[in-house]
Amino acid sequence: MTILVLGGTGRTGGALTKLLHEAGLPFLVASRSGKAPEPYQAVVFDWFNPSTFENPFKADSNIDKVYLVMPVGYYDTLPVVAPFIDLAISKGVKRIVLLTAIQGEPGSPTYGVVHSYLATKDIEYAVLRPSWFIENFSSVFYQSIRENNEICSAAGDGKIPWISSADVARAAFDTLTTPESIRKDLLIGGPDLITYDEAAAMLSSVLGRPVKHKRNTPEEQVELYSKFVSSPEFAKVLVDMEVGAARGVEEAYLKEPPSRLYIGRDKLEDYFKASRNIWIK
C-alpha cells in the first residue's frame, strides 16, 4: 500500500519523504510542479485546481494513507480541502494525517474547521498540531534579522515550544506507519520553552552582534504577516496565536497528558548554530 504525501517538496513533507524512503516504504509525492527529488515518484497536485485531485489515484491505485498539508497561508480552507478528503475516502484511503497548528482548536477558523470535518469521517486519522517552526527565523524573519538585526512579534513574554520541521515529520511518520488503529489529536512542541526575547539573545550570541525582539502591536504584526500570506484574515489568525502565546496558551498545552503530546528533540539554539551563515551579511 502507498502513502500519499501532499506538499511533498515542502518543509515537513520533504522531511517526511526522506524518512519514508529510508524505511523502504512506498509513497507518492504530490506537488504543484509534479516534480520531486530523484528517485521519488511525483504527480501534479494543486489545491486551487480541483481537476488535479484525481491525479494521485490515477498514478497509484494502492494509496491508502495521506499526509495532508493544507494550502499555505490561506484562510477559508474548508471549501478547498473538504472535496479532496471526500474524494480520498471514496478512493479507498483509510487513514489521513492532517497538519494544523497547536492553537488550532477543533472548529476554529482555517485549521480547526478542517479538523472538525475530518473527525466526522469514519476513517482513522491523526491531527498534528505543532507550535511555531524554528525555520521561521530563516524565512519570515530572514530579512529583518539580516538587515535590521530585529525579530518582530506580538507574543510579548510568551513562552513557545519551538519545533523543527524534521520533528514534525517524525511525528507524521509515526502516525502514518503505526499498526494501531488511531483517531487522535496530537500537540507537538520542541524540548524547550523559549520567549522571543530569549531567542533574540541566543541568536545574538551565535552571530556575535546584537539582535533585538521588537514587540509589535497586534495591528503592526498583522501588517507584517500580510506580506507573507494570502490575506489579512489569515495574517490575523497568526497574530491571534501570537497573542495567545503571550497569554501562556502554548506553555499550558504542554501540561496536557503525555498521551496528547509529542515532544521533539531538535533545539532552537542548535538550529541557530547550524544555520548561522544564513544571517551573515
Write down the pLDDT at residue 230: 79
Write down the pLDDT at residue 227: 85
State the amino acid at position 259 in one-letter form: S
Write down the pLDDT at residue 72: 86
Fold of 2-131+164-188: Rossmann fold (3.40.50)
Write down the pLDDT at residue 172: 98
Pick from 21-25, 35-39, 93-97, 169-173: least confident? 35-39
Report the predicted TM-score, pTM, of the whole model to 2 decimal places. Answer: 0.96
**58 pLDDT higher than 90:** yes
pLDDT tens-digit series, residues 224-279? 999 888 789 999 999 999 999 999 999 999 999 999 999 999 999 999 999 999 99
**73 pLDDT higher than 90:** no
Write down the pLDDT at residue 266: 98
Write down the pLDDT at residue 231: 87
Q: What is the mean pLDDT of residues 61-81?
A: 95
Return the domain boundaries, the chain: 2-131+164-188
Q: What is the mean pLDDT of residues 29-37?
A: 95
Q: What is the mean pLDDT of residues 45-56?
A: 97
Q: What is the mean pLDDT of residues 74-81?
A: 95
Q: What is the mean pLDDT of residues 50-64?
A: 98
Please write down the long-range contacts of 211-215, taking CB distance under 8 Å and 24 or more positions apart: 211/145, 211/149, 211/150, 211/151, 212/149, 212/150, 212/151, 213/150, 213/151, 213/152, 213/153, 214/150, 214/151, 214/152, 214/153, 215/153, 215/154, 215/156
C-alpha cell at 114: 478542517
Write down the pLDDT at residue 152: 97
* pLDDT band at residue 76 using 50, 70 and 90 as cut-offs: very high
Pick from 48-52, 128-132, 143-147, 225-229: least confident? 225-229
* pLDDT band at residue 59 using 50, 70 and 90 as cut-offs: very high
Q: Is the dihedral of CA 84, 86, 87, 93 positive or negative?
A: positive
* pLDDT band at residue 126 using 50, 70 and 90 as cut-offs: very high
C-alpha cell at 98: 492532517
Work out the percent of the chain whose per-residue pLDDT is above 90: 96
pLDDT tens-digit series, residues 153-211? 999 999 999 999 999 999 999 999 999 999 999 999 999 999 999 999 999 999 999 99
Q: What is the mean pLDDT of residues 51-64?
A: 98
The 3-state secondary structure of 174-210 reads HHHHCCCCCEEEEEEECCCCECHHHHHHHHHHHHCCC
